[in-house]
Structure 1
Amino acid sequence: MRTMGLDYGDRNIGVAVSDAFGWTAQGIETVQKRRDGGELVRIAELVKEHEVTEIVVGLPKNMNNTIGPRGEISMAFAEQLQQTLNLPVHLWDERLTTVSAERTLIEADVSRKKRKLVIDKMAATLILQNYLDSKTKR
């Protein structure tokens, strides 16, 4: 029983999965979005490969807690995922996760070029880890 976390962006989708116990999140891949919807095929492959039983999609909210156009796009993607994969899909507030991921990479002295390659995957890891932490606190 693993959970998958997704950071849905304009060009890329960061992907992370939990360990079998649902304690920790690990970034596994960045999937490039395609015009033909091929990203859903790749996500379905990863779901099968990692035996994922539920998915968490980051929901970008505005700082005043409202949902803007980016949030609506993420909600539509989550709905599409749920219908395609027939798995529970949860939306999780992702405010400032990309900023946090960027800061962490800067503090680790990762070059700008390398940061671009891993930022989405790291944001997905943070989204998933926050979700997992919220479940263990209950």
Structure 2
Amino acid sequence: MRIMGLDYGDRKIGVAVSDELRWTAQGLTVVERRRDSGELDRLAELVREHEVSEIVVGLPKNMNGTIGPRGEITIAFAEQLGQQLDLPVHLWDERLTTVAAERTLLEADVSRKKRKRVVDKMAATLILQNYLDSITKR
């Protein structure tokens, strides 16, 4: 079974999935958030389609390690997601993952327009890969 990684944002949710051995993370898609919470249905479809058994959601912390308003919103989303999908949902410190994703895309000379389309997916990939690396070290 695979693990899904999510970068939960104000307007978009970056999605990545692991391989079946849980060694590598691959960017999958970006899900647009909706007023009617339709993004939860789309995430449920992706969970079924990719045979996901657990989810990792990036938790935005302040640089001093505290959790601010954005973090509280993310925690509430993770709890709702876990209840709706009946799957374990882990929170993973995502400090600077979007910055790292942006930097990687800049170094690869990706255009600004294309960066905007893929940065959330890449951030989700980094969140998931960091999580996968941490569990294989145990």
TM-score (norm 2): 1.00
2:48 — aligned with what? 48
Residue 12 of structure 2 corresponds to residue 12 of structure 1:
yes
Distance 1:6 1:16 in 2: 7
Shift of 1:42: 0.2
Shift of 1:70: 0.4
Shift of 1:107: 0.1
% identical equivalent positions: 81
What RMSD over aligned residues (CA atoms) do the two structures have, in Å?
A: 0.3
Unaligned 5+ runs, structure 2 = none
Secondary structure of the 1:104 match is: helix
Distance 1:124 1:73 in 2: 17
Residue 132 of structure 2 corresponds to residue 124 of structure 1:
no
Q: Deviations over 1:21-74 (max 9, x none)?
A: 000000000000000110000000000000000000000000000000000000
Residue 91 of structure 2 corresponds to residue 91 of structure 1:
yes
Distance 2:90 2:136 in 1: 16
Distance 1:74 1:26 in 2: 22
Distance 2:67 2:37 in 1: 24
- Write the mapping of 1:102-113 to structure 2, written as runs, cut at 5 A: 102-113=102-113
Secondary structure of the 2:62 match is: coil
Q: How many residues align?
A: 138
Residue 77 of structure 2 corresponds to residue 60 of structure 1:
no
Residue 31 of structure 2 corresponds to residue 31 of structure 1:
yes
Q: Deviations over 1:73-121 (max 9, x none)?
A: 0000000001000000000000000000000000000000000000000
Distance 1:88 1:46 in 2: 16
Distance 1:88 1:28 in 2: 20
2:78 — aligned with what? 78
Q: Which runs of 4 or more aligned residues in structure 1 lie more than 4 Å from their structure 2 counterparts after TM superposition?
A: none
Secondary structure of the 1:73 match is: helix
Distance 1:123 1:97 in 2: 6
TM-score (norm 1): 1.00
